[in-house]
C-alpha cells in the first residue's frame, strides 16, 4: 500500500534523525528532503489514533559556552531543556577513541543558531522516541558555521557506533557529505575539536576513526572520508 504524504514525511524524519545509516543500502532509501521550517514541529500518530506533537525547544536568547580546554562549546541548554534518561545510558568510564560522523540525510546550508538548534533537538527527539535511546547519540555536533554544540554528556557512552560505543567519543558534522562537501569552518572546528580532545584524553591519532572504519556504513560520506587521512596526519 502506498504511503500517504504525511507518513512519508514521518518516515523521513526517522531516517534523518537517527543519524548515519547502519548499512549503505538504507542510505539510498531516504525520501526527498522537506522544508527546513518543518523541523519546528511534527506529528506522529499514537496507537489510539491521536496525534502527539513534538515541538523542539526554542533557542535561548544567548548561547552560553561550556568549559572545555582550548575549545568553545555551545551548552546543551541552548537547544534543549530535556535531560537524558539516566536509566538508558551507560557510563563512559573514560575516553580512549573518537569517531567522526556525518548526518547523512539532506544537504545542510543553513548557518543560523536558531535553525541549527531546532535541527539538533529534532535529532534528539527521534533518537529517544523512535530508537528508544536515553539521549541524542552524539557527544558533540559541528554545524555549517563551525560552531561546536554539546550533545550527550561526555560522562555517558554514546549511541553512534553499534557495539563500539564504550570509551568512544562521537562527533557529528551536520550535512550529507556524499552530496556536499564540509564547509571550511566545519573542517577547521573538527580539527580543533580533535586536537583538544586528543590532548585532554590522551587519544592517539590512530585511535581517531570514521564510522565506516568501524561498521558497514557509508558514513561519514565520501567527501568527508577523503579528508580524514589528512586530518589525522596533521594530528599525529
Q: What does the pLDDT read at residue 68?
A: 64
Q: What does the pLDDT read at residue 52?
A: 35
Burial class (CB in 10 A: 0-12, 13-18, 19+), 74: buried
Q: What does the pLDDT read at residue 70?
A: 75
Q: 127 by DSSP, 3-state: which? A: helix
Asked whether the predicted pLDDT for residue 173 surpasses 70, the reply is: yes
Q: What does the pLDDT read at residue 69?
A: 65
Q: What does the pLDDT read at residue 105?
A: 85
**C-alpha span between 104 and 220 (Å, rounded):** 7
Report the DSSP pairing between strands 168-173 and 97-102. parallel
- Of 20, 29, 23, the closest CA to residue 217 belongs to 23
> Please, what is the average pLDDT of the chain?
79
- Average pLDDT on 162-176 reads 97
Three cell numbers written together for 39: 523541523
Residues 216-231: pLDDT tens digits?
A: 999 999 999 999 999 9
- Of 201, 13, 185, 183, the closest CA to residue 93 belongs to 201
Which of 2-6, 40-44, 49-53, 170-174 has the highest average model confidence (pLDDT)?
Answer: 170-174
- Average pLDDT on 47-58 reads 37
Q: Quote the pTM value.
A: 0.76
Amino acid at each position: 500500500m502506498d504511503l500517504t504524504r504525511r507518513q512519508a514525511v514521518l518516515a523521513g524524519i526517522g531516517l534523518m534523525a537517527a543519524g548515519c545509516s547502519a548499512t549503505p543500502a538504507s542510505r539510498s532509501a531516504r525520501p526527498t528532503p522537506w522544508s527546513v521550517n518543518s523541523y519546528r514541529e511534527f506529528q506522529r500518530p499514537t496507537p489510539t489514533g491521536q496525534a502527539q506533537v513534538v515541538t523542539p525547544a526554542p533557542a535561548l536568547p544567548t548561547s552560553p559556552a561550556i568549559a572545555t580546554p582550548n575549545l568553545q562549546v555551545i551548552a546543551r541548554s541552548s537547544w534543549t531543556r530535556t535531560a537524558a534518561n539516566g536509566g538508558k545510558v551507560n557510563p563512559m568510564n573514560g575516553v580512549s577513541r573518537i569517531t567522526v560522523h556525518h548526518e547523512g540525510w539532506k544537504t545542510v546550508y543553513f548557518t543560523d543558531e536558531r535553525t541549527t538548534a531546532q535541527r539538533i533537538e529534532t535529532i534528539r527527539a527521534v533518537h529517544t522516541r523512535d530508537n528508544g535511546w536515553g539521549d541524542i547519540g552524539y557527544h558533540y555536533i559541528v554545524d555549517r558555521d563551525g560552531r561546536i554544540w554539546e550533545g550527550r554528556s561526555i560522562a555517558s557512552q554514546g549511541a553512534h557506533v553499534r557495539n563500539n560505543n564504550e570509551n568512544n567519543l562521537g562527533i557529528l558534522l551536520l550535512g550529507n557529505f556524499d552530496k556536499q562537501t564540509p564547509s571550511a569552518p566545519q573542517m577547521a572546528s573538527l580539527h580543533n575539536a580533535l586536537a583538544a580532545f586528543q590532548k585532554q584524553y590522551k587519544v592517539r591519532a590512530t585511535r581517531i576513526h570514521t564510522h565506516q572504519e568501524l561498521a558497514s556504513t557509508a558514513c561519514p560520506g565520501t567527501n568527508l572520508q577523503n579528508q580524514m587521512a589528512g586530518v589525522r596526519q596533521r594530528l599525529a
